[in-house]
Every structure is written in C-alpha cells, then in structure tokens.
Structure 1
Amino acid sequence: MRIGYFLSSEEYAPAELLEQASGAERAGFEALWISDHYHPWVDAQGQSAFVWSMIGALSQVCRLPVTTAVTCPTVRIHPAVIAQAAATSAVLHQGRFVLGVGTGEALNEHIFGDPWPSADVRLEMLEEAVEGPKAVDLAARIGDGYVSTMPDGDLVKRFRDGGGGDKPCQAGFKAAFADSAQEGARIAYERWPNAGVPGDLSQVLPSPRHFEQASELVTEEMVGKAFVCGNDPQAHLEMIDKYRQAGFDEVYVANTGPHYQGLFDLYAKHVLPELR
C-alpha cells in the first residue's frame, strides 16, 4: 500500500502547503493529494488557495506524485480549461500528476449566482455522485482509478468487478496531531467542525457562514471520532489497516492544526517503517 499526505488547501496558506509538501517527502510519504476549493468550509480554516497555482509551485519543491482530490470539471471552471491546466500540470510534474474528478458541492461550485438545482434534483445528484453505485460504475467504465474518503470494501469490490480491475483505488482520512488525543480533538473541533455535519448538508450548503451555522449541531466528541487525534502511532496504523482491508491501494493522511511537523516525525519514525 502506498502512503501519501493530503494537502488541505482550505486550512493552510500557500507557503505552508509548500513547506508541508517538502516535509512530507523528507518524512518518506510517497505521494500527495491536494484539495480543490473556492472557499474554506468554515472561517476558522481561513484559506482557499487556487489549486492550479499550487500544483505548479509543488513541481518546484518536491518530486512526489500529485492528485487533485477532487476537481469538479463542470461548473466553476469549464472542462476545456481544466484539460489545459491538467495537461500543463502533467508536464511540470513529468507525468506524476493525476486529475481526480468529482461532481463538487455548492460551497465551491455555486459561486456565480446561476440557478442551482432544486433540493430533489440535488439529492438525486448527491446519491448518484457520492453514495450510490452509479458513480462507482462510471469510474470503473471510463476512469483510471477510484477515489473515496470511506473504508468501504463493498464499493471497492463494485469498482473492480464493474470493470475497474486492478486500477488504483485511493482514499484519505484526517488527523490532528497533538500531545494528547484530547488536545487533538480540541484542535480538530476548532478547525474542522464541519467534519461532523450530518446527512447531505455538506453537499448543498453554499457558504462558510452556512457551514458554521450547521456546525452548531456538532460536538467536539463527534469531530474527534472522525479524526485520528493525538500522537499514538498505533491509532494511525489501525486506521490505515481499515483501508487496506477494504482493498485500497493508496491512503492519504491530512493533518489539521499547527503541529504538522510532529505528524511527519511520527510517520517517519513509527508509522512508515512499521508498514514497510
């Protein structure tokens, strides 16, 4: 299994993302994911760098493969422009760039004030694109791989049986490195309360303000369960093993909060050597 690092464009400034990419390479991570956002989820995250500028800059500071996780090539940016951006990125990274695509969410795609689908239509789109089998079938038929954020072995099997074969399956999870699990949960709740927003809301809310309102439903305990919090390498190994048992070939970990160097050190000393 290949272990990569997830660059959170929503939380860190451009220079910090470049610093993290270099640190991840030194620590022994084998690849990078980078998120493609127009807004942060909530204002506490505070950033939203233009992903195509970042991908160009990444080519100058490290040699790790880079995948967008994920780009919506239909609404905010015309697919022809995405095609040119992806081709340029592939050249800059000497073939080590992968365009990960998805259907997007209102937070990032509904930015021009154009008509947005009704609630019923959006829910149908959500089921098809995220929860339902059609998205997996489409990936198996025309894609070069499959991207997910859940250790769901049934969907991996459906992808492979539906034509995906031995194409790569990638997934990611979030961590909050700190001196204790409690402190990590506090940081995660402060920066990413949206991780606990229930149901379909994460796909349909249009702005950080709305996510902050919805996050009032979320508790620190709820967010703590969605993250690997603290500094215990065994907790990371157990999470990675969930994805391995589900059949994923690659898994990417994202840190939240200021202690990303601690996460790099943890992986370099205790996690990656154990996996290898």
Structure 2
Amino acid sequence: MRIGYMLSSEEYPPQQLLEQARGAERAGFDALWISDHYHPWVDAQGQSPFVWSMLGALSQVCRLPVTTAVTCPTIRIHPAVIAQAAATTAVLHDGRFVLGIGSGEALNEHIFGDAWPAASVRLEMLEESVEVMRKLWKGEFVHHRGTHYTVEQARIYTLPEAPPPIYVSGFGPKAIDLAARIGDGYISTMPDAEMVRRFRDNGGGDKPCQGSFKAAYAETEEAGAQIAYEKWPNAGVPGELSQVLPSPRHFEQAAELVRPEMLKEAFVCGRDAEAHVEMIGRFAEAGFDEVYVANTGPHYEALFDLYAREVLPRVR
C-alpha cells in the first residue's frame, strides 16, 4: 500500500505547506494530497492559499506525486480553465500529478452568487466538466455546447506527454457509480469496504482507490483531541451539512453541537504509533490502494518522525 501525506490548505500558510512537503519526502512518504479551498471550514483554521499556485511551488521543492483532494471543476472555476491549470501542473511535475475532483461544497463555490444546485445536478455538471477537460487535453481546438458549459474555439498548447489521470470523489451511491464510470480512480475519506466494492463492481475494476484520515499529534490522546476540537470541530458536523453550509461562520455555529470527545472518533489523536498502524490497516482491509494522513496542529515534524521511525517500516 502507498502511504501519503495530506497538505491541509485550510490550516497552514504556503511556506508551511512547502515545509511539510519537504518533511514528508524526507520521512519516506510515497505521495501527497493537497486540498483545494476558497475558504477554510472555520476561522480557527485560518488559511486558504490558491491551490494552483501551491502546486507550481511544490513541483520545485519535492519529487513526490501529488493529487488534488479535491478540486471542484464546475462552478467557481470553469472546467476549461481547470483543464489548462491541470495540464501545466502535470508538465511541472513530470507527469506525477493526479487531478482529484468532486462535486464541491457551497462553502467554496457560492462566492459569485450562483445558485447552489441539487446534488443530482452537481453530478451532471461534474460529468460534463470531465468531458470538456478530456477534449481539451487532446491538444485540438474544442467547440463544446453542452447542458452546463460552452467552450468556443479553445485549445491548450502546453500539454504533458499523457493526460492527467482523473480520480473522482464519491460518498453516496450515485456519486460512487459516476466515479466508477468516468474516473481513472476513486477518492474517499472513509475506510468503507462497501463503497470500494460498489466502485469496483460498477465499472471501477482494479483502478486505484485513495483514502485518507486525520491525525492530531500531541503528547497525549487528550491533548490531541483538544487540538482537533480547536482546529477542526467541523469534522463532527453530520450528514450533508458539509456540502450546503455557505461560510465558515455557519460551520462554527453547527460545530457548537460537537464535543471534544467526538473528535476522537474522527481523528487519530496523540502519538501512539499503533493507532496509526491500525487506522491504515482499516483502509487496507476495506480495499484501498493508497492512504493519506493529514496532521492538524503545530506538531507535524513530530508526526513525520513517528512515521519514519515506527509507522512506515511496520506497514511496509
């Protein structure tokens, strides 16, 4: 299994994200995820650098493969622009780039005042956006008039040797089926064997499946849970709220119902290597090929040391 590290753009400024990328490579991680947000989930996270600037910078500081987890190519940025950004990023990373996409959250996509579509419409838009991007990656002039997008006499000139793979995030049955049908791989944040099985049985076959979990390194489990609660209380917000709430202050209001002990279920807290190994094992048993850990809080160098010494040697 490939073990990667997630760069949380919602929490760390650009310089620290680059520092973490270097640290992850030194520690022996195999790959990187990086989140794509316009806003953080809550103000306590406090950051949200532009992912395409970060991806260009990352290409100059490390050689690890990187996946966006995930970009929404439907509302805030037109898929024709995402196609150009992804092509340039793949060139900079010498082909070590995966475009991870999803149907998005109102938190990031509502900023121009567009209506937030129903889930079924967002999936339609996602499917058409993939069609547009793959047309453009052929290097020819594209004329596209679809249900949701128009592209007129557009051509991308700077292209990688091969088009970037597209991995699709999905949690509900319809989204998983779409990922299986149009994706080159699958992305999820839950070690759920049924989700992986549905993806593989409905057209995904042996395509790669990526998963992730969050950690809060600290001297004790309680201290880690407190860090998680202060920085990521939104991780305890249930159901579809993460897709429909429009701003960090609304997530903060919803998170008033979350208690620190609830974050122990969503995070691996503390410094127990066995807890990390166990969580990675849950993803492996569910059928994932790759799993990415995201640290929250200031102690990411200590997490890198823990993985280099005790976690990565064991899981390999």
TM-score, structure 2 normalization: 0.84
Larger Rg: 2
1:252 match: 292
1:133 match: 173
1:63 match: 63
1:185 match: 225
Distance 1:124 1:214, change over 3 A: farther
Verify the 8 A CA contact 1:122 1:204 in the aligned structure 2. no
Query: How is 1:107-146 mapped onto 2 (pairs within 5 angstroms)?
Result: 107-117=107-117, 121-122=118-119, 130-146=170-186
The answer to which structure has the higher strand fraction is 2
2:14 match: 14
1:219 aligned onto 2:259: yes
Verify the 8 A CA contact 2:170 2:187 in the aligned structure 1. no
Verify the 8 A CA contact 1:5 1:33 in the aligned structure 2. yes
**How many residues in Structure 1 have an aligned counterpart in Structure 2?**
272
- The share of aligned pairs that are identical, in percent, is 77
The one-character-per-residue Cα deviations of 1:173-216 (angstroms, maximum 9, x if unpaired) are: 00000000000000000000000012211111000111111110
| Structure with bigger RCO (C-alpha 8 Å, 6+ apart) | 1
Verify the 8 A CA contact 2:235 2:266 in the aligned structure 1. yes
The letter for the 2-side match of 1:262 is A
The letter for the 1-side match of 2:7 is L
Verify the 8 A CA contact 1:105 1:204 in the aligned structure 2. yes
Query: How is 1:18-29 mapped onto 2 (pairs within 5 angstroms)?
Result: 18-29=18-29
The letter for the 2-side match of 1:72 is C
The answer for unaligned runs of 5 or more in structure 2 is: 127-168
Distance 1:214 1:132 in 2: 22
TM-score, structure 1 normalization: 0.96
Distance 1:87 1:2 in 2: 24
> What is the Cα-based RMSD across aligned positions, in Å?
1.5
Distance 1:92 1:187, change over 3 A: same
Distance 1:30 1:131, change over 3 A: closer
The answer for unaligned runs of 5 or more in structure 1 is: none
2:215 match: 175
Verify the 8 A CA contact 1:42 1:192 in the aligned structure 2. yes
**Residue in structure 2 matching 1:206, options 243, 246, 252:** 246
The one-character-per-residue Cα deviations of 1:4-34 (angstroms, maximum 9, x if unpaired) are: 0000000000000000000000000000000
Structure 1 position 114, deviation (Å): 2.0
Verify the 8 A CA contact 2:25 2:64 in the aligned structure 1. yes
2:148 match: none
